[in-house]
Copies of this chain bind each other. A is one copy, B any other.
Amino acid sequence: MAESQALGAFLDDLASERSTPGGGGAAAISGAMGAALVSMVCNLTIGKPKYAEVETEIRDVLAKSEKLRAELTKAIGDDVAAFDAVMGAYGLPKGETDEAKAERTAKIQAALKIATDVPLECARLCAEVVKLAEITADKGNLNVVSDAGVAVQSAYAGLLSAALNVRVNAKSIKDRDFAEGRLATLESLLEEAGATTEKTYDVVKDKLG
C-alpha cells in the first residue's frame, strides 16, 4: 500500500533503477495532492460567515474532492499492478506452436489494454480535480487562494503525466479502434483541462494582486 509508505522511502523507490513506482505513480500523487489542496481550501471556507452564500456548493466540492483523493491514492498501486502485468505477459515463454504463440500475444495485448485504461482513468480523475480547483479559486476563502492555484497546477501535471503512460501503452496495441478511441478521449480531457488550468492560474494571480 503506497499510502502507508513514508514519503522519503517512496521518493527513494521512485529514484531507483526499478521500473515501479515510476511516472504513473508520480502522476497519481500529483493528482492526489491537487485533490487534497482543493479539500483544504474547502475546509477553510466552510463555516466562515463571509462565505455563507457559497457554503452549500463548497460542501459539495469537498465531498467530491475527498472521493477523488481516495481514488487517486488507490491509483498509485493500480499503476504498479498494470505495469507488472504487462511485464509478466512479455515474460511468458514464447511457445513453439502457433496456438501457444497466439495465446502469449493475446495475453500481452490484454495486459496492454489494461495498462492503457489505468492511466486514462488517472487522467480522468486529475481532470475532475482541475474542475473543482477552478471553483475553489473562484469562490473559496481568498486567504488561501494560492493553495487553489497550486491545486490546479498539481492536478494538471498529474493529467499531463498520466497522458504519457496512456500514449506509451496505446502505441503497442494492435486493436487500433480501441487505441484510437482511448487517445481521442485523452485529447479531449487534455484540451478542456488545459484551458481551465490556464484560466484558473490567471484568476489566482489576479487575486494575489
Contact = CB atoms under 8 A, between A and B. Distances in A.
A37 to B, nearest CB: 6
A29 B14 contact: no
Interface string A60-85: 00000110010001000000000000
A43 B19 CA distance: 10
A149 B23 contact: yes
A86 interface: no
Interface stretch (A4-12, A51-59, A89-97, A102-110): A4-12
A205 interface: yes
A144 B208 contact: no
A11 B171 contact: no
A25 to B, nearest CB: 9
B22 A7 contact: no
A12 B4 CA distance: 12
Contacts of A4: 6-8
A6 B8 contact: no
Interface in A109-159: 144, 146-147, 149-151, 153-154, 156-157
Given A44-B17, A66-B15, A150 B171 contact: no
6 contacts: A7-B10, A14-B33, A26-B150, A27-B150, A154-B157, A160-B201
